Amino acid sequence: MTAPAPSLYLHATRSEIIELAAAEGHDADIPSNAGSIRPVVSRTSTRPRKTVDGQKDLSLSFGKDVEKGEENGSLSSVDEPEETEPNPDIVDFDGPEDPDNPLNWSNKKKWGMVSLISAITFLTPLASSMFAPGVPQVMAEFKSTNNMLAGFMVSVYVLGFAFGPLIIAPLSEMYGRLPLYHSCNFFFIVFTIAAAVASNMGQFITFRFFMGCFGGAPMVLGGGTIADLIPREQRGTAMAVWMMGPTIGPCVGPIIGGFLTVAKGWRWNFWFVAIVAGAFFIMSLILMSETSGTIILERKAKRLRAEIGNDKLVSKLDIGLTPTELFKLSIVRPTKMLFRSTICFAISLYVAITYAYLYILFTTFSVVFRDQYGWRGGTTGLSFLGLGIGSLIGQFVYIHYGNRTVTQHIERGDFKPEHRLYIMTVGGFFIPVGLFMYGWTVQAQTHFMAPQVATGIIGFGLLMTFMPAISYLVDVFTIHAASAMAASTVLRSLAAAFIPLSSQQMYGQLGYGWSNSLLGFIALALIPIPFLFIKYGERIRESSTVKL
């Protein structure tokens, strides 16, 4: 067999591999289109070496102190090739123009896939809160007066976000992105229809949970697919469009749902989502192809082994782990990092508390604006508009000013991850201000624009908190950034699912003014937290001993 020509990614640097891995939603010692910081399969052997007891040596993946950035010496540098002579048994893309490489696909095919993925990523977060204005109808139909259940019907969807991605991400590394897209889209439609025809509260909540589990797939896989298809210099626009889905989807959903509930009833919120998701599913079956370089090269190696009869042929991205080992490697890490890393737990807890505010608002907006302003029918969904606009503004402000601050430190040569948190200190002030303003303007029944502006301030502050935290975790944990972000996602999703359950009861006992003031005082007490991270974060990281 003729040795393959160098691929586009053959000489990918360590930083490029880490960047791509973060976009793809997995750790950088798991292979991707750019390779892996873990040495790929031996040039003389297709499997990892054995230890004296006959077990596979996995020390390459578990000897890293993720916070100190220390290596155990077994991770080889990816900035320089391990050997100058290509091995004819290593299967790679056939040169930089290989049509099998997703980066070489036609622009029509690539941007068609990007558009479809962005649309699906917008739809599934939209479904999280779309039926919120219809909660009173659901409660009446199922003959329930339990305010806790009223809130849980909305937030249980995000509980699914906590658990589904933990399984979806490892499975995508084993079997590729396409099977996970198709299967998750299919089951998302199935459980959406099930929720639309649910006959009691227990069924409805269960189906909503599984909607969230499978609906999280495009948010887990979308960034990686875009990174597979679009070159770095063109990737920013696609990623920005893709990220808008999780940002504004939950806020736009209730606006649509409010008018749809009046026109057709609460069940049609789910029929609408199922119909649109079904259309996207059919389009994905026609338009989407596998983009994971790992899977593409593995299939190529398998085909060549059968054609040529050379059992030594192996993918360039094969790191010698069985699917079971790869699954265990991916699924255990987030839990380890959450409970063994002080800085990961601390930043995740801070984000979880602030994220719970978002779902307290989601689960109470309809009731608040109905009782205090007499909003009925479709106009109830408009109560979410301020929060959505504020969140969108926060995203643009962070992208501009957050990146500018980091760039200045990088140019001076003194950058450290804590510099990502400077803009978080600003967000910390907006959240309590917005909560105080929202609570007392609603209590006093001032013009409805006052609480709308207040919720916009809250949304702005929340985005200025979430975005720096995500960037900070990527910079701190580098090769294991995806596991750190997964750990943070689990904690904040649990907080968003359970903390809002008592919000209706709290409003009933304390009133809107003092209830939101209580949340505001908690947010006020949290203002120093980002400053403490900035001052002591590096010291905490240096004193930690988290080995994976």
Which residue intervals of the chain bear CATH 1.20.1250.20?
101-289, 332-548
Is residue 82 predicted with pLDDT exceeding 50? no
Residue 410 neighbours by CB under 8 Å, 6+ apart: none
Please give the pLDDT value at position 73. Answer: 32
What percent of the chain is modeled with pLDDT above 90? 21
Which H or E element spans position 315?
strand 314-315
Query: pLDDT tens across 210-264, in order?
Result: 999 999 888 888 877 887 888 766 776 677 777 777 777 887 888 888 888 888 8
Please give the pLDDT value at position 144. Answer: 85
Residue 104, Cβ density class (10 Å: 0-12 exposed, 13-18 middle, ≥19 buried): middle
Residue 95 to residue 123: CA distance in whole angstroms: 38
Residue 225 to residue 113: CA distance in whole angstroms: 9
- Find how far residue 440's CA is from the centre of its chain: 34
Query: pLDDT tens across 338-392, in order?
Result: 888 888 888 999 999 998 998 898 888 888 888 888 887 778 878 888 988 998 8
Residue 402 to residue 68: CA distance in whole angstroms: 24
User: 101-289 sits in which CATH class?
Assistant: mainly alpha
Residue 290 neighbours by CB under 8 Å, 6+ apart: 176, 177, 178, 296
Please give the pLDDT value at position 96. Answer: 75
Higher pLDDT, 461 or 167: 461
Angle at CA 455, nearest 5°, toward 450 and 458?
130
Pick from 261, 255, 140, 274: nearest CA to 207: 274
Higher pLDDT, 321 or 515: 515
Residues in the chain: 548
Mean pLDDT of 294-320: 78
Residue 361 to residue 546: CA distance in whole angstroms: 36
Q: Among the ranges 24-28, 388-392, 406-410, which has the highest mean pLDDT value?
A: 388-392
pLDDT band at 86 (very low <50, low <70, confident <90, very high): low
Is residue 75 predicted with pLDDT exceeding 70? no
Please give the pLDDT value at position 545. Answer: 62
Residue 463 to residue 351: CA distance in whole angstroms: 10
Mean pLDDT of 385-413: 84
Please give the pLDDT value at position 3. Answer: 39
User: 332-548 sits in which CATH class?
Assistant: mainly alpha
